[in-house]
Amino acid sequence: MPKVEIDGRQVEVEEGLNVIQAAERLGIEIPHYCYHPGLSIAGNCRMCLVEIDKVPKLQIACNTRVSEGLVVRTQTERVRRARQAVLEFLLVNHPIDCPVCDQAGECKLQDYYMDYDLEPSRVPLEEKVHKGKALDIGPLVMLDQERCILCTRCVRFCDEVTKTGELGLFERGDHVTIDLFPGRRLDNPYSGNVVDICPVGALTSKDFRFRARVWYLQRTPSVCPTCATGCNIDIHHLRGRIYRFRPRYNPDVNTWWMCDEGRLGYRAYQGEQRILEPFRRDAESVLRCDWETVLAEVPRLLREGAEAVVFARATNEEAYLLREIFGKLLGGGNLHGVSWSPENASRDDFLRDADKNPNTRGLAALGVLVPVEALRRALLEGRRDVLFVFGGDLEPVLGPEGLRELRRKTRVLVAADFRGHATLAQADWALPVASFAETDGTFTNRGGRVQRIREAFPPPGNARPGWWVLARIAERLGSPKRFATAEEVFAELAAAEPAFSGMSYATVGERGCPLAAVDR
């Protein structure tokens, strides 16, 4: 491993890193626009110029690989002047519409200007080169050509990552413009990523623009719940409302990217269709009730011979508690884990998986997953006293007629989910639980990686985290455990399940932890 010196400090780093990455290890930021670790080196913005010992000209840090004995200076007067010069050049034709720009707060032009320039503009507005504004270039993306600093990240993304090549550069000199190739739209399934990687307000999200100023938003690391890949994300939210998902770097899962379907998946977790209180239905009406009643009545019902369905949208913790309840406390009741996805579900050989459930592998690892056909048969075969359905709707699985038949054959239907659907509407007991954004827990992705989701904000109304509800039911059924957090449930799960052995929330961390290879 080569040893390099940056600003007088030594660091030993892996072969192949560039100077920007090496400096990062020392906590030294080298400002940059065009460089993106997931894309090829363009070297065009010239923001990352640094001094390299024995090299007369300033060199771009992004295209300088570390080598033994390399000596770099990033804070000299020359470097400072070069940065200031680049910023001044970038602003020559910039429209300066920051007050109405949606990128404000996460704009690298603004940020670096404050850090490295702070010079007043020297070019009158009427002399600037004008280009297109607010151009609708795809279902998710708007383009403002004047704000573009021509770093070509978006072009490289479409050329190198999706290989769809919708975007190109046109004209020359200061008339160069990013645009769609004739007849194209930016409509590939990963198009939203260009908004994330655009360092300025040139590419903005149609879905997000003008909905919130970013500095008000809070971020919570989580995992995309829309398919089995489990792309790492940050939930951007404010006062119990999700504004957007952003991909979060995980070299073992999604690197820097996420798909558009997952990106827009946040909409399913908004206020619409949420149920805010537990309900119970009797002969003539549906009545709101409280958790005390639920926790007094439901365990009593379950004792009367219960069967349960858990969807692969439930966390490992929830599935584990269900297994405890139905496998142990109720002495061998039936628990069916189900992973259902629509037949024509999108998929590709990059990130998108046809399995639209975030925790299929988790249910499999816990040994509760059954094939959908087997579940249909089991549910529609005989009559039963009580059925407990957790974390999903049986209507798409059984069809509307199947669900009605199931209902006829089931004396008491208990359903828990974060939002309303056909199963919940027909349930005798409807229990509102937290959405994936409102609870702590883990999902196991398609590659067998256990990854954490976190409570970004508390569940609305009287909804409770699923693990909490299940833990309380288990207590009433005689379990000695008194779980106060999802983390405690996970610790117990990890102790009980060889595939999870040695794991804790601490070891799972931000990047997840692979299941141990255990035969099941």
Q: Which does 198 bind (CB under 5 to 8 A by kind): ligand FES, another protein, ligand SF4, none?
A: ligand SF4
Q: Nearest to residue 337, comparing CAs of 353, 352, 315?
A: 315
Q: Which residues pair with 221 in a beta bridge?
A: 234
Q: Tell me whether residue 125 or residue 517 sits nearer to another protein (CB atom).
A: 125
With contacts defined by CB under 6 A, how many residues of the chain interact with ligand SF4?
A: 27
Stretch that binds ligand FES, among 31-39, 265-273, 381-389, 480-488 (CB under 6 A): 31-39
Q: For residues 34-73, which are near another protein according to CB under 8 A?
A: 41-47, 49, 57-58, 60, 63
Contact 79, 51 (CB under 8 A): yes
DSSP conformation class of 515: P
Should residue 149 be labelled a site residue for ligand SF4 when binding is judged by CB under 6 A? yes
Q: Which does 32 bind (CB under 5 to 8 A by kind): another protein, ligand FES, ligand SF4, none?
A: ligand FES
Should residue 82 be labelled a site residue for ligand FES when binding is judged by CB under 6 A? no
Alpha-carbon Rg of the chain, whole angstroms?
27
Spell out the residues 6+ positions from residue 515 whose beta carbon is closer than 8 angstroms to its own: 361, 365, 444, 448, 449, 450, 499, 500
Should residue 72 be labelled a site residue for ligand FES when binding is judged by CB under 6 A? no
Chosen residue from 28, 61, 198, 398 binding ligand SF4 by CB under 6 A: 198
Should residue 141 be labelled a site residue for ligand SF4 when binding is judged by CB under 6 A? no
Fill in the amino acid letter for 359: N
Should residue 60 be labelled a site residue for ligand FES when binding is judged by CB under 6 A? yes
The first and second tokens of residue 497, run together, are: 């399940």
Q: Tell me whether residue 175 or residue 482 sits nearer to another protein (CB atom).
A: 175
Least Å from the CB of residue 46 to ligand FES? 5
For the chain, percent helix, then strand, then coil, each to nearest 5? 30, 20, 45
Should residue 45 be labelled a site residue for ligand FES when binding is judged by CB under 6 A? yes
Q: Tell me whether residue 18 or residue 191 sits nearer to ligand FES (CB atom).
A: 18
Should residue 200 be labelled a site residue for ligand SF4 when binding is judged by CB under 6 A? yes
Spell out the residues 6+ positions from residue 319 whose beta carbon is closer than 8 angstroms to its own: 310, 337, 359, 362, 363, 366, 368
Task: Please state, in angstroms and rounded to a whole number, the distance separating the CA atoms of residues 448 and 360.
Answer: 10
Show the DSSP H helices in 6-164 as ranges: 19-25, 77-92, 108-112, 153-156
Should residue 171 be labelled a site residue for another protein when binding is judged by CB under 8 A? yes
Q: How many residues does the chain have?
A: 520
Binding-site string for ligand SF4 from residue 164 to residue 193, where x marks contact by CB under 6 A and - marks none:
--------------x---------------
Question: Given the rule CB under 8 A, which residues bind another protein?
Answer: 41-47, 49, 57-58, 60, 63, 81-82, 85-86, 88-90, 92-93, 122-123, 127, 129, 149-150, 169, 171-176
